[in-house]
Amino acid sequence: MAENRPLILISNDDGVISKGISELIKALRPLGDLVVVAPDRPRSGASCAMTVTEPIHYQLVRQEPGLLVYKCSGTPTDCVKLAFHTICERRPDLVVGGINHGDNSAVNVHYSGTMGVVIEGCLKGVPSIGFSLCDHDPNADFTAALPYVRRIAATILERGLPALTCLNVNFPVGALKGLRLCQQTKGQWTNEWENFAHRGDANYFWLTGQFENQEPDNQLCDHWALDNGYVAVTPVTVDVTAYPLIESLSFMADPSFLTED
């Protein structure tokens, strides 16, 4: 690979054969040399999980000028860690996750394997972006998103991002009205399990659920942007310290704390 072109590391959580990662490769190819290290099977909801109980394996599956594609038996986080350690010949200039089939806005940032890719890239000190489309269909139409994907990636390649920060970019379905910088929508998942009784045992459940938006009218939120046809760019920090609490809980550091009633 050419030393003078940017190196972009790509992974996802839908797996190496998903349409979303193919579309991402297509969008980013003009920007640099691409190394793709993606799970060999769907890993949706993998968060920042790592494989600690067994070894993982990777294999080259496609090689073209400026593009290497590997499948890996590990999680999205494993893929990024292994790419940095072993697969990439030089340090990537950008790490990109996606394009995910499904919404990773709001609290989904915590569960997302796509954002697992991005958080790992960020922890390694490399500017990192996750792209997701609010459509779970394996044949989802990514056409409207691709110019934004390329432009955002090119911008971050050029300008970088502050330490300990990365981007979570979500696309609504359909025509795009523009782009908004957003905050993470507060809310929670409800009705999360569907009973799936099996051979007379009622204790089987399959994950499902509805997202209950606690601030549906807050125009600063990523969920609002998506509901109203905008690309939602939510900057994310990997320093999750709740700084104000350090002061308000300082009474716990008093030597009397352990013995008081």
The residues in 108-137 that bind a second copy, with binding defined as CB under 8 A, are: 109-111, 113, 116, 119, 123-125
Minimum gap (Å) between residue 211 Cβ and a second copy: 11
| CB distance 185 to 226 below 8 Å | no
CA distances from 221 to 121, 133, 217 (A): 24, 17, 9
| Residue 66 interacting with a second copy (CB under 8 A) | no
| Residue 144 interacting with a second copy (CB under 8 A) | no
Minimum gap (Å) between residue 167 Cβ and a second copy: 8
Taking the C-alpha atoms of residue 26 and residue 42, their distance in angstroms, rounded to an integer, is 20
- Within residues 1-40, the interface with a second copy by CB under 8 A covers none
- Within residues 201-240, the interface with a second copy by CB under 8 A covers 201, 203-207, 220, 233-240
CA angle 38, 25, 77 (to 5 degrees): 25
Residue 243's H or E segment, with its range, is helix 243-248
Contact window for a second copy (CB under 8 A) among 30-38, 61-69, 91-99, 103-111: 103-111
Q: How, if at all, do strands 67-72 and 165-171 pair? A: unpaired
| CB distance 8 to 36 below 8 Å | no
| CB distance 24 to 131 below 8 Å | yes
Minimum gap (Å) between residue 88 Cβ and a second copy: 13
| Residue 186 interacting with a second copy (CB under 8 A) | yes
| Residue 146 interacting with a second copy (CB under 8 A) | no
Minimum gap (Å) between residue 180 Cβ and a second copy: 6
| Residue 184 interacting with a second copy (CB under 8 A) | yes
CA distances from 32 to 7, 9, 35, 252 (A): 6, 10, 10, 51
Identify the CA nearest to 130 among candidates 144, 147, 112, 157.
Answer: 112
Contact window for a second copy (CB under 8 A) among 4-12, 25-33, 49-57, 127-135: 49-57
**Eight-class DSSP state of 216:** T
By CB under 8 A, name the one of 22, 183, 213, 218 that touches a second copy. 183
Give the other-Cβ count within 10 Å of 212's Cβ: 12
- Within residues 149-168, the interface with a second copy by CB under 8 A covers 151-152, 155, 161-162, 164-165
Minimum gap (Å) between residue 257 Cβ and a second copy: 7
Contact window for a second copy (CB under 8 A) among 2-10, 25-33, 138-146, 174-182: 174-182
> Six-digit token pair at 83?
């790419």
By CB under 8 A, name the one of 22, 29, 51, 67 that touches a second copy. 51
By CB under 8 A, name the one of 179, 213, 215, 218 that touches a second copy. 179
